[in-house]
Amino acid sequence: MTRAGPGLFERITGHFSDGRAIDEFAPEAQTFYSVRDNIQRILNSRRKALAHLPRYGLDDLSEIYRHLPASAHRLRNEIEATLLEYEPRLRSIDIEINEPEPGMLLSFTMACHLRREGLVRFGTHFTPDGRTRLRMLNSIADED
């Protein structure tokens, strides 16, 4: 069983990727921000970049970008499979393809159902330079 709170990376550094200290948040919120940071790291990594985890990250996005909009569904499926494999706090994920926000190539809404802490939704945006940005839309903690 997992426990609420930050992941190992955040516990070591004492802060989230946006620079905010972990102790500014309740344990459930720490989990949501930690999941966001981990998902962002995964989506900004490219497959075969880590010899010991060759399937970690996404394939080269230039091929996806070249075949838009048809390739958006392929990317959605790749994101789902990769996140379920490398983010252990996820129970399931629902990904909706959205109209791209201004300045973005692709935009998704990801509803991430966590094993313990509840539901968190992210606006997920792919930039022309190949980066992925996540914005937390909302979260619902379990009341169990």
Give CA–CA dist 43/127, Å, rounded: 12
Question: Which residue type, as a one-letter code, is found at position 53?
Answer: L
Please give the model's pTM, rounded to 2 decimal places.
0.87
Dihedral sign from CA coordinates of 39, 45, 48, 49: negative
List the chain domain ranges: 8-141
Q: Mind listing the pLDDT tens digit of every residue in the chain (144 residues)?
A: 456 788 888 999 999 999 999 999 988 889 999 999 999 999 999 998 888 998 999 998 888 889 988 899 999 999 999 999 999 999 999 999 999 989 899 999 999 999 888 899 999 999 988 899 999 997 666 544
Pairing outcome for strands 118-126 and 90-98: unpaired
**Domain 8-141 adopts which CATH fold?**
Nuclear Transport Factor 2; Chain: A, (3.10.450)
